[in-house]
Amino acid sequence: MEKRRMFYCIITIVFILLSIIILSKTNLNNNIELSKAIQIVLILFLIRISIGCTLYIKKQYEKQKYSYSIIMNLGLVIFININILRQINLLIQNWKVFNLIDIYQNTLKSFSYFAMLTLPCIIILSIYSIISNIILIKKEGFHPNKVLGIVMGFFSIIGLFLTQGVYLILNNILTETTLNYIKYSLDICINASISYLYTLILATLYCNVKASNHIPKYDKDYIIILGCKVMSNGNLTPLLKGRVDKAIEFGKKQFEEKNKKIIYIPSGGQGEDEITSEAEAMQKYLIKQGIEKNQIIIENKSSNTYENIKYSKEIIDNNNKARICFSTTNYHVFRSGMIANEQGLDCEGIGSKTKWYFYTNALIREFIANLVQERKKHIILLLLINISLILLIVIGKQNHLIFITN
C-alpha cells in the first residue's frame, strides 16, 4: 500500500515539475507557443488523473471486489484515455497553428468525439441485443422482462438521432443565430450524457465478465447458493441447476486440493406459484448428487437476492472467522457481491454459465438495476457535467472562443 502511495506521489510531483518547466520555457506573448504549452500540460494532467483512477481501482479491487465505484472509475479511465490519444493527435496535426480557441473547442467537443468513436460498437451491441431477445422470446416464451434488450436496443439507436430531431422542432421557432447556439449546446450536452451512459455500459460489461470468471481460493467454510424460480413439479430449472452444479464443482475441487469440506447454504423461499421452497428443492438435488445432509443448511425465508444474503448471513454470523463464497449465474455475480458488501458480508462469488441469448437480456437487467440503485449519484453527476458545459459555452461565446456556423 505504501509503495502505491509513493508511486502516486511521484507521478504527481513529476506532473507539477514538468508543467512548471514547460510553462517557464514558453514565450507567454506568443499565442501559438502558449497554446501548445497549455495543451501539453492538459495532456499530462489527464495522464495523471488516469493513473490515479487506475491505482484507485486496483486498491478498491483488493479491498472490495464488488464495489460500484470500480465501475464509475473504470468508465472515467476509458473516457480519459481515449481523449488523451485524441488530444495528442490534435496537437501533432496542428503543431504550427495551434491556439487557445482550438483547446477550448476541443475540450467542449471531447464528449462528441467519444460518442462518435464508440458509435459503431454501440450500434453492434444494440442490434445484437435486439436479435438475442427475439430468440429468447421464441425459445422460452414472452414475459415483460424478456423485452428489455429490445427496448434498450431501440432506445440506443433512436437516441443517436435525438439531437437532430430536437433541432428540427426548434427550426421554425428561433432565429438562425440563436438556433445555432442552442443546437451547438444540445449537441454538447446530449453527447455528454450519451458518453456517460456508454462508459458505464463498457465498464459494467468488463466488471461483470471479470467477476464471473474469478475463481476464489479453495479455503472456504460456507458457500451460499442464491435461489431462483423452481419448475412447477418442484425440480430445478436449468438456471438454478447451473448454480447448484457450480457450487458442487467448487466444493469437490476444494476437498481434492485442501481436503476440506464445505457447508452448502441453499437460499430461497417459496413463491406463491411454487409447490416447494427453492432451498428445499436445492437440498434434494444436492443430496442426490452425493452431498451429505450434515453439509447442508437451508435458508427458506428469502424472496430476493438481498434477503438471500441477509438470512444466510444470520446463519453464518455465529462463526466470525468463516470464509464464505456464493454461487449464482455469471451475469449476477458482480451485483450479488455488491449486495453482500452492503450488508457487511465479506465473500467472493462464482458464476455458472447460461445460454448466450439469455445472458444479454439478464445483463441489461442487472445494468438497469445498478443504475436505479445509484440513481441519485448519476443524476447529480450528469447535472454537474451539463451545467459545467453550458457555463463553458456561455463563457466561450462572450470571449469569442467558440465560433458556430451553419
Q: Are 194 and 227 contained in the same domain?
A: no
173 and 192: one domain?
yes
Q: Are strands 324-329 and 263-267 parallel, antiparallel or unpaired?
A: unpaired
User: What three-state secondary structure class fits 328?
Assistant: strand
Q: Do the beta carbons of residue 252 and residue 245 sit within 8 Å?
A: no
**131 falls within a domain:** yes
Q: Which domain holds residue 274?
A: 222-355
The answer to whether position 288 is within a domain reads yes
* 326 bridge partner residues: 224, 349
Q: 227 and 293 in one domain?
A: yes
Number of domains in the chain: 3
350 lies in some domain: yes
pLDDT given at position 6? 63
Q: Same domain for 204 and 148? A: yes
Q: Is 293 found in the same domain as 184?
A: no
DSSP assignment of 144-193 equals GGGGHHHHHHHHHHHHTTHHHHHHHHHTTTS-HHHHHHHHHHHHHHHHHH
DSSP summary character for residue 293: G
C-alpha–C-alpha distance, residues 318 and 312, integer Å: 11
> Is 317 domain-assigned?
yes
Give a yes or no: residue 361 inside a domain.
no
Residue 367 lies in a domain: no
Same domain, 235 and 349: yes
pLDDT, residue 1, reads: 45
Average pLDDT per 10 consecutive residues for the chain, totaling 406 residues:
58 63 55 72 83 87 88 90 82 69 71 74 78 78 69 69 58 61 77 84 90 92 93 90 96 94 94 87 94 93 93 83 92 93 91 84 83 88 86 74 56
**Domain-ending residue, one of 94, 123, 141:** 94
> What pLDDT score does 394 carry?
79
Residues 186 and 282 in one domain: no
351 in the same domain as 275:
yes
One domain, residues 161 and 282? no
pTM (whole model) above 0.75: yes
390 located within any domain: yes
Q: How far is CA 222 from the centre of its chain?
A: 28
Answer yes or no: do 238 and 338 share one domain: yes
The CATH number of the domain holding residue 299 is 3.40.50.620
Do 151 and 228 reside in the same domain of the chain? Answer: no
Q: What pLDDT is attached to residue 254?
A: 95
360 part of a folded domain: no
Q: Using an 8 Å Cβ cutoff, are 45 and 14 in contact? A: no
